[in-house]
Amino acid sequence: MDADLALVLGVVLLVFSVPSIMSAFSEGRAPRVAAFTIILGGTMTIWALSQKPGGFDIMEIPEAFVRVVARITS
């Protein structure tokens, strides 16, 4: 797995965990799945940031999404 793919998957997991946390708290349950998703997404994002020399600039993140989608669709 390269850094672009790990970054994209990590960010997507972090974004999807927000509704899960809100749902768990509103229903009075422990957010176990959401916590696991945050840990996994955060770990993937941090790993991706550490693997790319120089790290990712904030403007490179949309480009990483485009590269990953282009690689999947072609």
Report the distance separating Cα 18 and Cα 34, nearest Å. Answer: 8
pTM, rounded to two decimals:
0.86
Report the distance separating Cα 65 and Cα 11, nearest Å. Answer: 10
Task: Write down the domain spans for the chain.
Answer: 3-73
Burial of residue 59, with CB atoms counted within 10 A of its CB: 0-12 exposed, 13-18 middle, 19 or more buried: exposed
Give the tens place of pLDDT for each residue, 26-71: 999 999 999 999 999 999 999 999 998 888 888 999 999 999 999 9
